[in-house]
Structure 1
């Protein structure tokens, strides 16, 4: 049965990842710039919801990618991510939350890696959806987490990041503070032990990433690096470990 759940999760992830290509094309612009209204091939994107979900432009090319093969890496990555979450979580109601969060979380990581931006159009709704879905999951008999823990984790981590941002804006962007609402909620669902483990993993990943870039001479000690990808990867590690704990 778990293999069936993993397969269904992978199919969901592939489809959601493919539909996120248009959003990636729209959102990969520098801070302060309006969202793109045309794909890199120069074709205008459709208006409305379809313009955010259409996987290909009017010319039939994948949004933001030079070839269908390159574009396939996003759906493939989302499929693997969803399958991993399904394998770790099993048949527990919080899995629905993780599967809903996975595609936009990967999209946020890609956008932040490309243009150092975590758009409010994703971060703020994601935080609300996280707490709403975990609240629904908490009333189901097979739930393995605490909604109160998710709420306190969301507020707590965002408050800590806000203090860091106010003390040193160069060390922490305000987009990271808003993303912490989602990350804290996901980690807090499994308790403070998982929360601390996940946050520790975030900083280890960020430090390792910076060290590798400096060693390869692709960055210096003062280069601003995106914090969103390490934050989301640390959350993934925390959630998978938390789900596997007895």
Structure 2
């Protein structure tokens, strides 16, 4: 791990996420003002720093870093309006698949494009099943986001897919439990799941990327 990689990655994550949040979140959430762009910058910088620390200067790191501002905007919008916009989720999936295909041809990459595609299919099918079982608890936007996260996690193998998915559900459960204890929510309160999915994917990369 080179310190300069972490620094550059963190700076990119902070700058790109802050700008993306200021420009896109008010429009996608249909709210006025630039929102808390500085929170987005902090979150994006931290996430990108983790990627730089864990993945280093490998080709796939560029793909993960390009996804950071997209992930931050998606999380911010989902937290505000309980929706993951198709205008971001679908292009993110297609772009990630294409970029990973290119990365698989480069030296020093540590992953499999085939595993990434299979990961996308399996994770999307899993979330699709959850959506069919409980549409109130799992949104169609979560299913579409699972395509991108399946690509990201699947690139490093099935262990990463399982770790990242489990971490997402664990994070969502802990947040829900904390809100219940604090009496900020009850068992019928709807909570956005996208941010937990994204956090889980970052954990999966950090542990197995």
Return the TM-score normalized by structure 2. Answer: 0.95
Question: CA offsets per residue over residues 97-118 of structure 1, 9 Å max, x none?
Answer: 1100011101111110111010
Question: CA offsets per residue over residues 218-243 of structure 1, 9 Å max, x none?
Answer: 11111111000110000010011122
Displacement of 1:15 in angstroms is 2.0
- Counterpart position of 1:25: 26
1:8 has 2:8 as partner? yes
Superposed, 1:90-101 pairs within 5 Å as 90-101=56-67
Match of 1:167 among 119, 126, 133: 133
Give the secondary structure class of the aligned counterpart of 1:140: coil
CA contact (8 A) 1:88 1:240 kept: yes
Q: Structure 1 stretches (4+) deviating beyond 4 angstroms?
A: none
- What CA distance in whole angstroms lies between the structure 1 residues aligned with 2:90 and 2:13? 21
- Counterpart position of 2:156: 190
Displacement of 1:213 in angstroms is 0.6
Match of 1:208 among 162, 174, 177: 174
* Residue-pair matches, total: 208
CA contact (8 A) 2:17 2:68 kept: no
- Counterpart position of 1:133: 99
CA RMSD of the aligned region, Å? Answer: 1.3
- What CA distance in whole angstroms lies between the structure 1 residues aligned with 2:152 and 2:206? 11
Q: Which one has a larger percent helix, Structure 1 or Structure 2?
A: 2
Displacement of 1:125 in angstroms is 0.6
Higher gyration radius (CA): 1
CA contact (8 A) 1:22 1:64 kept: no
- What CA distance in whole angstroms lies between the structure 2 residues aligned with 1:77 and 1:232? 12
Give the secondary structure class of the aligned counterpart of 1:72: helix
CA contact (8 A) 2:17 2:40 kept: yes
Structure 1 unpaired stretches of 5+: 30-35, 41-62, 66-70
- Counterpart position of 1:33: none
1:233 has 2:206 as partner? no
Displacement of 1:11 in angstroms is 2.0
CA contact (8 A) 1:149 1:191 kept: yes
- What CA distance in whole angstroms lies between the structure 1 residues aligned with 2:102 and 2:14? 25
- What CA distance in whole angstroms lies between the structure 2 residues aligned with 1:26 and 1:163? 31
Question: CA offsets per residue over residues 142-165 of structure 1, 9 Å max, x none?
Answer: 111110010000011101111111
